[in-house]
Structure 1
Amino acid sequence: MSVHDHGHTSDHDHHDHDHAGHGHAPKVSTGNERAVLIGLCLTGAFMVAEVVGGYLSGSLALLADAGHMLTDTVALFLAWLGFRLGSRPADARRSFGYSRLEVLAGLINALTLFVLVGWIAYEAVQRLFAPEEVLAGPMLVVAVLGLIVNLVVFRILSSADADHVNIKGAMLHVLGDLLGSVGAIAAAVIIWLTGWMPIDPILSLLVSLLILRSAWALLTRTFNILMEGAPDGVEPEALGNQLVETIDGLAGVGHLHVWSLSSGQTMATLDIALRPGADPATVTSAVKSALMDQHNIAHATVEIDWTGTCADCPAAPTPHQ
């Protein structure tokens, strides 16, 4: 049986952070945080304007697009919140800081979006059976302004660190809302030229599908994090085998757990068994380097199984020559 006694020697990688300031959030520059904040203000302000415009013009498509802009606003807010909270120091009770608040906010957002989609779908069906008059002129003006705002926000975000997980997610939200704005413009033009009112609820249903897709992706992502599931693209068993096959002196890996603290903050704990004569410090350092370089796992707790049995470890390959 594998020995998993916490009295054993273990190596807890803090990556140059002291315990009081135990930060694990991805490094984000002030410029990135500022870009997200500007995008948040622009999107949130126009979302309110679009709600007003949709109400005054009678356009359900505009209201649906405003709902999609709500997803953008929340996505940008979560990105900014992640940056802001990630910079706060940990305390005695919260040794990992406040990053998981981002995940809780995301879960609440996803559930709210499902309610929003249900309301849009209900209203759209009602209007298909009893079309209501829509003022094409005001609807077109608001939709065009919405498109311009989305283009500006997308440009601002693309000038920041587009490889960062939070910024990339926000950009995808804004890109989806660009399609919603285009749909609202198309509906306004069709109503203006033909007077065919059902196009408004039809396109509002299409926009609601975009919202539903974003909501489902956000729900599954946040639920997986809260359940401490392995992040997408990480298979613990395959990861353990890869470590054993590529690191000299490593005989086996067991009790491997990989999970996310919040978006982009992956963590791992594992036991390792050493080959005879292997240097513990060298092997441990190699394991942590591999986890960081190949899987972006910046925080790993590695415990050495001194018995060398590691019953649940994968079979060790032939030693490297």
Structure 2
Amino acid sequence: MSDDDDDLPKDLAHITPAYRRALWIVVGLNVGYGLVEMVGGFISGSQALKADALDFLGDGLISFLGLLAISWSLAWRARSALIQGLFLAVLGLGVLATTAYRVMVLSQPEAELMGLFGAIALAVNMVAAAVLIPHREGDANVRAVWLFSRNDAIGNLAVVIAAGLVWWTGTAWPDLVVAVVIAGLFLQSAWSIIRDAQADLGSAAHGRY
């Protein structure tokens, strides 16, 4: 981050050129690998891998929305974050629904492919999270982008662990349990994003920025 960036108040941290570059990198990484991992999820039959792929694609979409919102007012940035939070909540509920379906038609995923795609995803997301670490503080829109990327990294680690447990136990249950954990992480972060967005909307309504 440049000296000029350091002189900006916290509320303007999201408009720096460094943040723009970081968002473009995150968008490219997440959309690109999200598509790859979704294919891998169908090939391996892993519900956790499909859930993680959805998180990748959602993260790319949210990062792009955050990029578009850079020049917007605080109120509209807060509304953007609110949309992001609601979208993440829908993803979480969707993962829970598809996981419940898989429980009724239980089949064991291919642990080797699941672990391979999960390990690559973890590496991709560690890069994305590292790019965003200097930009994790700011308004609700900025924090939403950071939470999406952080969730991806945690989800990827969980998928790798699940793959090992599927291979070790010879059952699909570790994969399904991890999918539920990832869904819970989605919902918790969605609540945090929505709460922050509402706080920013309140600040904008009272003319604090």
Q: Same fold (TM over 0.5)?
A: yes
Residue in structure 2 matching 1:221, options 184, 196, 200: 196
Q: Offset of 1:167 from its aligned partner?
A: 4.5
Larger helix fraction of residues: 2
For residue 172 of structure 2, what is the aligned residue in structure 1? 197
Q: Secondary structure at the match of 2:204?
A: strand
2:12 alignment partner, SS class: coil
Mapped contact 1:147–1:182 kept (Cα < 8 A): yes
User: Can you list the C-alpha shifts for 1:145-189, whole angstroms capped at 9, x where unaligned?
Assistant: 11001111112223x445444545433332222111111111111
Q: Does 1:260 align with 2:204?
A: yes
Instruction: Give the structure 2 partner of residue 82 of structure 1.
Output: 69
Q: TM-score, length-normalised on structure 2?
A: 0.80
8 Å CA contact 1:143, 1:185 repeated in 2: yes
Q: Which residue of 1 aligns with 2:88?
A: 113
Question: Are residue 42 (structure 1) and residue 17 (structure 2) matched?
Answer: no
Instruction: Let me know the Cα RMSD of the aligned residues.
Output: 2.5
Quick one: distance in 1 between partners of 2:111 and 2:135?
Answer: 39
Q: Mark the CA change 1:33 to 1:51 in structure 2 (over 3 Å): closer, same or farther.
A: same
**Structure 2: where are the runs of 5+ without partners?**
1-10
User: For each residue in 1:1-57, what CA deviation from the matched residue of structure 2 results, as whole angstroms up to 9, or x when unmatched?
Assistant: xxxxxxxxxxxxxxxxxxxxxxxx715321221112111211121112221211221
2:5 aligns with: none
Per-residue deviation, 1:131: 1.4
Provide the residue aligned with 2:56 in structure 1: 69
- How many Å apart are 1:71 and its aligned residue? 4.2
The residue type paired with residue 124 of structure 1 is T
The Cα of 1:134 is off from its aligned counterpart by 0.8
Return closer, same or farther for 1:100/1:56 CA change in 2, 3 Å cut-off. farther
| Conserved 8 A contact 1:82-1:102 | yes
Counterpart of 2:186 in structure 1 is 211
Kept after mapping to 1: 8 A contact 2:54/2:91: yes
Residue in structure 2 matched with residue 148 of structure 1 by the alignment:
123
Judged with a 3 Å threshold, the aligned counterparts in structure 2 of structure 1 residues 167 and 101 are, in CA distance, closer, same or farther, namely closer
Alpha-carbon distance in structure 1 between the residues aligned to 2:130 and 2:92:
28
What amino acid is the match of 1:149?
A: V
Residue segments in structure 1 that go unaligned for 5+ positions in a row: 1-24, 87-97, 230-258, 262-266, 269-296, 300-321
Q: Cα gap change, 1:163/1:209 in structure 2, threshold over 3 Å: closer, same or farther?
A: closer
Corresponding residue to 1:128 among 90, 103, 110 = 103
Q: TM-score, normalised by structure 1?
A: 0.54
Q: How far apart in 1 are the matches of 2:18 and 2:88?
A: 30
Q: 1:183 to 1:40 in 2, by over 3 A?
A: same
- The answer to which of 211-220 and 33-42 deviates more is 211-220
Distance in 2, Cα, partners of 1:102 & 1:143? 32
Aligned mates of 2:137, 2:56 — CA distance in 1: 22
User: Larger strand proportion, structure 1 or 2?
Assistant: 1
The one-letter amino acid paired with 2:108 is E
Change (3 A) 1:211 1:30: same
Q: Closer, same or farther in 2 for the Cα pair 1:163/1:203, shift >3 Å?
A: closer
**Is the alpha carbon distance of 1:37 and 1:99 closer, same or farther for their aligned partners in structure 2, counting shifts above 3 Å?**
farther
Q: CA shift at 1:224, angstroms?
A: 4.8
State the match for 2:12 in structure 1.
26
Over the matched positions of the two proteins, sequence identity in percent amounts to 26
Contact persistence 2:143–2:193 (CA under 8 A): no
Distance 2:34 2:145 in 1: 15
Query: Matched residues in 2 for 1:26 and 1:153: separation?
Result: 21
How many residue pairs match? The answer is 197
When residues 178 and 164 of structure 1 are mapped into structure 2, their CA distance, relative to the original with a 3 A threshold, is: same
Aligned counterparts of 1:157 and 1:149: Cα–Cα separation in 2:
13
Secondary structure class of the residue paired with 1:26: helix
**1:114, 1:175 → 2: CA distance?**
16
